[in-house]
Amino acid sequence: MRTVTVGMLGCGTVGQDVLNLIERRAAIFADLGVRIEVVGVLVRDTARERRIPAGTPLTTDPAFLQECEVVIEAMGGVQLPMTMLRPYLRSGRPVITANKALLAECWDELRDHALNGKLYYEASVMAGTPVIGPMSTVLRASTFRRLQAVLNGTCLYILTQMEGGKDYAQALAEAQALGYAEDPPTLDVGGFDTAHKLTVLARFCADGNFRYDRVQVQGIEHVTQADIQAARERGERIKLVAELESVGGEWQARVAPQSLPETHPLCTAGASRNAMVYEGEECGTLIFAGGGAGGMVTASAMVGDLLDLLIGFPGHVPLH
Ligand code: NAP
Ligand code: HSE
């Protein structure tokens, strides 16, 4: 049995469930001849109560990064995780991350690592619903035409609750309590989290160097109860929609609230499910839908990435 040492950055909504799922899947790791040893888990407050396996080595000292073989980043933020990961990545070791803000905004530094197969980030878009895996592999054979997607669980939750008559502030507080929202939640409601995710997707189907600042962004802060009820009367629903398509030979990426017919696939996917309609010339129209936010659904993709890494699959390689 080979021991693989894992270090983790962050142990919040996502990190706790990653640790629990690693423990739950010990038999699958054993089938691969591997025993996972978590050698350090970086947090701000080691005294905070957490639901994690007994004996988890919580610490405020990132020194474990110098020795571990794999890093799982579930901390969030942009500059701090980049600073911590930089020397680690330069040594050629792999990173698994759910952090779409980091991926979208630090691509100049991360791109070479991704091209070398050292970055695993299935969880960064639509959490446990696999879209990055297919887009980085089989869908490459088909000519990409257009995608349209609902990618933010917090906005989806807020807009759905508002349809039931709840006010915006209460619905946002509930999304935060459920562990869906970013810190700060402006990233969600301002449309920026959706733009980060659209940027990550664009690098698999449009341009491997697609820049975050090319996305036009509008959030849901100005959507009112009256807008939502008027849409309902027309047989429509308001969603925060991400779109990517080629217009006059240029890739256009937008995030904005849209009123869609109730029969639209982004509406029929279900009240609490992220969804993506992907159009390719040869593959036709594909619909992906599933959980896009929450601890365990995100952990399922991150532990899946860890299994891929141990089996020897490269990370998610963008277009060259
Ligand atoms: P979270 O609950 O706020 O957890 C963040 C963790 O990072 C906490 O354990 C916190 O420590 C630690 N941390 C933050 N700043 C730190 C610092 N300066 N030094 C040391 N530790 C620090 O966040 P989350 O919801 O798990 O999200 C984590 C990442 O996953 C983010 O990139 C997010 O975008 C991404 N993601 C989240 C979801 C979701 O549904 N929540 C889904 C997909 C992707 P303390 O616990 O001590 O405060
Ligand atoms: N804050 C994000 C959302 C978490 O609400 O979708 C999942 O990426």
pLDDT digits (tens, 9 = 90+) for 271-296: 779 999 999 999 999 999 999 999 99
Q: Where in the chain is the domain with CATH 3.30.360.10?
A: 134-290
E strands along 119-235, which residues?
119-120, 144-150, 215-217
Instruction: Report pLDDT digits (tens) over 217-256.
Output: 999 999 999 999 999 999 999 999 999 999 999 999 999 9
Backbone angles phi, psi at 156, to 5 degrees: -60, -45
Q: Which numeric CATH code is attached to 134-290?
A: 3.30.360.10
Identify which of 126, 152, 276 to mutate to test ligand 2's pocket (most ligand atoms within 8 A of the CB): 152
Let me know if domain 2-128+295-311 sits in CATH 3.90.730.10.
no
Clarify whether 118 is annotated catalytic.
Answer: no
- pLDDT of amino acid 33: 98
- What's the gap in Å between 194 CA and the centre of ligand 2? 8
Query: Taking residues 309-316, what's their average pLDDT?
Result: 98
Per the prediction, the chain carries an average pLDDT of 97
pLDDT band, residue 92 (cuts 50/70/90):
very high
Q: In this structure, are residues 288 and 276 in contact, taking their beta carbons and an 8 Å threshold?
A: yes
- What's the gap in Å between 24 CA and the centre of ligand 1? 21
Q: Where in the chain is the domain with CATH 3.40.50.720?
A: 2-128+295-311
- pTM beyond 0.75, yes or no: yes
Q: In what order do the strands lie in the sheet with 2-9?
A: 58-59, 34-42, 2-9, 70-73, 95-97, 119-120
Atom of ligand 2 nearest to the CA of 175: 5
pLDDT band, residue 270 (cuts 50/70/90):
confident
- What's the gap in Å between 9 CA and the centre of ligand 1? 8
- pLDDT of amino acid 271: 73
